[in-house]
Structure 1
Amino acid sequence: MASSFGWRGIFVFSIIFAALGMILLWATPESKRDSDEPFHFDFAGLSIFIVTMVALNIFINFGAAFGWTSGRTLGLLATILIGFAAFVKVERNKHNALLDFKLFRSRPYAGAAASNFLLNAVAGTLIVANTYAQVGRGFPAFQSGMLSLGYLVAVLAMIRVGEKILQRVGARKPMQWGASITTAGIAMMGLTFLPDLTYTVVVFVGFCLFGFGLGIYATPSTDTSVSNAPSDKVGQAAGVYKMASSLGGAFGVAISAAVYGAFAESTNLAAAATAGILVNVAFGLLAILAIVTLIPKGIGRAEDEMEETEMAVSESYNQ
């Protein structure tokens, strides 16, 4: 698209796709849960959250340019710390909170949300790998884009496979397998010392494994997050889980780009790309750790186990 329509065309198509999504949702039936309790939207929590997240993104992206000890950077850091503290305090005392921290009393839910955040943070790989392919290796935009085409195909092809594995062995194993395969694929893209043709093949295979692993991970993780929340909190649990995806992607891109940019100024582009890729490998390893430590063995394998888990979650939440 960048080659044929210019980079501005990407945003035009994004608007079109968003509009199509709104049209498809137009006739979707409502799924809200009936309740006698009054509902008041948490504008205070949302406002604090937005200010804190914006400050954190600016700090990551421009801290080096401002100077890490400059007044602007220290002011941003103070805003982040105060914002996080204020957000936690406000949310803990609200009945209709934007983020109900009680949801994270469920270890499976916490594991699914945390690993989801971290595996979406590896989106920074797309920025680093494609930037290096064009700037460091001289690939045109079209060729660089084609390198990542296998990622899309693999994700779409493996989502149903992840569902089938979930039904057979539970959620923990496919989540762990998916995160491991994704991390391995990302690591392959960091082999920037390879010659052009070899590196091109390795990056293409790496992108395929990247999507392959995410496709396996997606359904078991989503199922774990929703099925391990109290029945009257499923909507909020799903919303927080999805928010983890968006925040993970935003921070992953910001951190990866910042690391790549910092190394590119002081060393060669190949070393900068390797450093940026290693950041995403770290995200993948942390996701695996979250799955291994928080997701119980056998969860999601049978309906009776899920019913027992739901009862335990509800009791823990109410306590």
Structure 2
Amino acid sequence: MRAETSSAARKGAFTAVAVALFCIQVDFFALNLAIPGIADEFGVSPSAAQWTLSAYMLALGCFFIVGGRLGDVFGRRGILLVGIALFAAGSVGCALAPRLAVLVAARIVQGIGAGFVFPVSVAVISNAFPQESRAHALGAAFGVANIGTALGPFVGGGFTEGPGWRWIFWLLALLSSLGLLIAVVYVPDSRDTSAPRQLDLFGCGTIVCALAALTLAVERGSAWGWDSARTLTLIGVAVLTGGLFLLRERLTRHPLIDLRLFRNIPYVLVTGMGTVANMGYAVTVFLATLYLQGVRGLSPLMAGLVFLAPALVVALTGPLGARLAPRMRPTAVMALAGAIAGTGMIALSNVTAWWLYVPVFAWCGLGLGLGWTFSSVATQQVVPPARAGEASGVLLTFLVTLGAVALAAAAATITAMTPEHPPEDAYDAILRVGGAVILLASVVVMAVRHRLVVHGKVPALSMHAPWPPADAGDSTREARP
């Protein structure tokens, strides 16, 4: 259900969501460059300090689906407030942490808060704004969030070399508290009125266990060994609890995820393309960080400066997606993003000159940023607003979990290749393979879409084409695939 909202309430909801998403994006991309400083201060190894990232990703990936459905069932406003409050409290805990264990625990609190904020934010915007302005609002919100992506490396490098990494979290605590105050005043409530106020607790438990085990196995597999007992046990737990979750969702009256969502082929195409783009984004940023600091020998601050050009382009992909939304079908925008991203990654693997490296890196940012950003907008165009939180939670779970898998695969490939080849050869090989995979995914999306058009299941690419076609019934209508 979408409540009627005034112009002031819509503007306030947009501001609160944009500030919250901005903080989450700054947080993730700033801390990557702060890991060496954290390791030095606490007197631990960089691999131990890496738990500050792993723990955050673990909590984040586990609570997307739960957070999205909690918002749909119990009200998005309340879950958004809880999420922002947890993120702010976790930020304060990180800033004050006296030792690494406390920092990791505070990062888990931050991750749970962010896991609530992200899917509910998308649903809040979708339900606060009418359909004619919804895509623009979502695109603008992600545009603001992507400014955080642009500033994250610069903030992380600057604070780490200047007053210290703790100031990253003080900044986030201040901004997220501001977002919380705005949300308290302005964000309207909405929820799925068709769903009873009951939550599938068994489903929540099994999906959290499955995602936690899988994420932990992927994050630590290279350090423990992929054939070690710990890694194999975690993978086994993930398979077992994941199977129990799917069985539960098929049998329960009020599932956490309505599995019929995956019969919505446009949603599957958008989710798949967005996931592949985010995998490419995570790997490209990871490889660029290694290349700039390990091969080029740049300081964290200088590496952050190099990241500004592609990150600023990523920041523009939110508004760009909003402009494309009224003119192109969501699946077509996703395929276009994949084509740009794939060509950019392959080109990046073949250039070394600064005058060419930076603009090609920016071209990668355009395609990859549009791919993962617009996927959140696109899913809202192909599902009913009442299920917005659920659809967003499922999408974000795929984005984060498979992004972690891609990072682990890239790290394992580098480890396998570096004894016999220079590191930059491994980086280039991974970029070429990743670019080819994304290009192939774009072709598959458009091929499947063409097949659906031929059979009258979805409208043609032209926004002016009549729909539904004469041979299609109402049951084939999709929102805007």
TM range (shorter): 0.7 to 0.9
Aligned to 1:317: none
- Change in CA separation of 1:184 and 1:310 when aligned onto 2, cut-off 3 Å: farther
- Change in CA separation of 1:235 and 1:80 when aligned onto 2, cut-off 3 Å: closer
Which of 1 and 2 has higher RCO (CA within 8 Å, sep 6+)? 1
Distance in 2 of aligned mates of 1:306 and 1:253: 42
Aligned to 1:243: 397
- Change in CA separation of 1:163 and 1:65 when aligned onto 2, cut-off 3 Å: closer
One-letter identity of the residue aligned with 1:166: A
Aligned to 1:272: 426
Q: How many equivalent residue pairs? A: 308
Greater mean alpha carbon deviation, residues 280-289 or residues 42-51: 280-289
8 Å contact kept, 1:107–1:294: no
Cα deviation for residue 45 of structure 1 reads: 1.9
Greater mean alpha carbon deviation, residues 265-274 or residues 297-306: 297-306
Distance in 1 of aligned mates of 2:306 and 2:183: 33
**SS of residue matched to 2:256:** coil
One-letter identity of the residue aligned with 1:88: L
One-letter identity of the residue aligned with 1:175: M
Aligned to 1:41: 199
Cα deviation for residue 145 of structure 1 reads: 1.5
**SS of residue matched to 2:310:** helix
Identity of aligned residues (%): 24
The C-alpha deviation readout for 1:207-227, integer Å capped at 9, x for no partner, is 211232245546764454223
Residue 442 of structure 2 corresponds to residue 285 of structure 1: no
Aligned to 2:181: 23
Aligned to 1:112: 270
1:51-70, aligned counterparts within 5 Å? Answer: 51-70=209-228
- Change in CA separation of 1:284 and 1:12 when aligned onto 2, cut-off 3 Å: farther
One-letter identity of the residue aligned with 2:311: L
- Change in CA separation of 1:82 and 1:75 when aligned onto 2, cut-off 3 Å: same
Distance in 1 of aligned mates of 2:274 and 2:189: 26
Aligned to 2:307: 148
Cα deviation for residue 137 of structure 1 reads: 1.7
The C-alpha deviation readout for 1:187-240, integer Å capped at 9, x for no partner, is 23323xx55xx1x33331232112322455467644542232245434422332
Distance in 1 of aligned mates of 2:235 and 2:247: 19
Q: Which runs of no fewer than 5 residues in structure 1 stay unpaired?
A: 315-319
Matching residue within 73, 79, 85 for 2:243: 85
Aligned to 1:160: 319
Distance in 2 of aligned mates of 1:90 and 1:109: 22
The C-alpha deviation readout for 1:94-115, integer Å capped at 9, x for no partner, is 2332222211101101101111
- Change in CA separation of 1:275 and 1:290 when aligned onto 2, cut-off 3 Å: same
Residue 377 of structure 2 corresponds to residue 213 of structure 1: no
Distance in 1 of aligned mates of 2:417 and 2:167: 30
Distance in 1 of aligned mates of 2:304 and 2:473: 43
8 Å contact kept, 1:117–1:249: yes
- Change in CA separation of 1:133 and 1:172 when aligned onto 2, cut-off 3 Å: same
Greater mean alpha carbon deviation, residues 232-241 or residues 211-220: 211-220
Residue 463 of structure 2 corresponds to residue 301 of structure 1: yes
Aligned to 2:380: 226
- Change in CA separation of 1:65 and 1:158 when aligned onto 2, cut-off 3 Å: closer
Q: Which runs of no fewer than 5 residues in structure 2 stay unpaired?
A: 1-154, 454-459
8 Å contact kept, 1:167–1:300: no
TM-score (norm 2): 0.56
The C-alpha deviation readout for 1:48-84, integer Å capped at 9, x for no partner, is 2222222222322333433333322321232222122
- Change in CA separation of 1:229 and 1:309 when aligned onto 2, cut-off 3 Å: farther
Aligned to 1:135: 294
Aligned to 1:175: 334
Superposed CA RMSD: 3.2
Cα deviation for residue 268 of structure 1 reads: 2.1
Distance in 2 of aligned mates of 1:103 and 1:155: 29
**SS of residue matched to 1:167:** coil
Aligned to 2:476: 312
Distance in 2 of aligned mates of 1:128 and 1:78: 30
**SS of residue matched to 1:178:** helix
